[in-house]
Amino acid sequence: MSTKVLFGFHAVTVRLKTAPQSVSEIHVDVTRRDARMRQLIERAGAAGVRLIDSDDPRLTQLAGGPRHQGVVARVAPLALQHTLDRVLEAVDAQGRGPALLLVLDGVTDPHNLGACLRVADGAGAHAVLAPRDHAVGLNATVAKVASGAAETVPYLMVTNLARSLGEMKEYGLRVVGTAEDAPQTVYAADLRGPLALVLGAEGRGMRQLTRRTCDELVRIPMSGAVESLNVSVAAGVCLFEARRQRLA
């Protein structure tokens, strides 16, 4: 069976919580036995996961870099059964609405995707979507930056983004895109109903077809010298404004 690598305390701990049977082994720094490491070792032991003491060079080799925090796990890929239909049907069936989706058009940096997943989880978004040909897939770096959110937020890579946005509209979602030249701010828009928020890559923004497919465009008002925000920061601003309006 093929395996992949997760590293960092958050990513490994969340996998142990959500799918311990998928973890085949965990390499831990032999020199580190602080409280955080002891808790992880205890959780792994309770799940019957094999623990291997390793040194820093070995951990760095396994993780593909030095930012492993002393924890690297080999795990089986989870069978992802997420589709747009299933996500939206689950929202309706579980009373978790109104639906709130984050759509990323052209985000190819794994650090940005990981941060966006983390923001989406914190804001209670039901899924993150991206076009298959213009996005990064889930990898160890994404999982590390996401701090566990890669295991909890459905990430859907679709073949045709414009078509998928059209399907969202058929489900009753409004598609709201972000653009620097939009006529109104995100704070003036009504974000309370079923909603898909669309953000483009930093600098390039959304592709033209994506922009034309949106029902409405909004902008984040900028007061300083910089003209735009990192996409994960912008996602946080928009998602939490939607959450604020819904709670109000």
Q: Mean pLDDT in the chain?
A: 90
In this prediction, residue 96 carries a pLDDT of 67
pLDDT (tens digit, 9 = 90+) per residue, 5-30?
A: 989 898 898 889 888 999 999 999 99
**Residue that wins the pLDDT comparison between 165 and 4:** 165
- Confidence class of residue 88 from pLDDT cuts 50, 70 and 90? confident
In this prediction, residue 83 carries a pLDDT of 83
Mind listing the domains of the chain with CATH numbers? 4-75 (3.30.1330.30), 84-247 (3.40.1280.10)
pLDDT (tens digit, 9 = 90+) per residue, 198-241?
A: 999 877 789 999 999 999 999 999 988 777 789 999 999 999 99
What DSSP assignment string belongs to 53-122? EE-HHHHHHHHTSSTTTTEEEEEPPP-----HHHHHHHHHHTT--S-EEEEEES---HHHHHHHHHHHHH
Please compute, for residue 187, the number of CA atoms within 13 A of its CA located in the half-sphere on the CB side.
Answer: 4
Please give the Cα distance from 227 to 192 (Å, whole number): 27
pLDDT (tens digit, 9 = 90+) per residue, 131-171?
A: 988 788 888 888 888 887 888 899 999 999 999 999 999 88
In this prediction, residue 81 carries a pLDDT of 53
Give the strand pairing for 155-158 and 71-75: unpaired
Q: 216-230: b or e for each residue (b if 16 or more CB lie within 10 Å)? A: ebbbbeeeeeeebbe
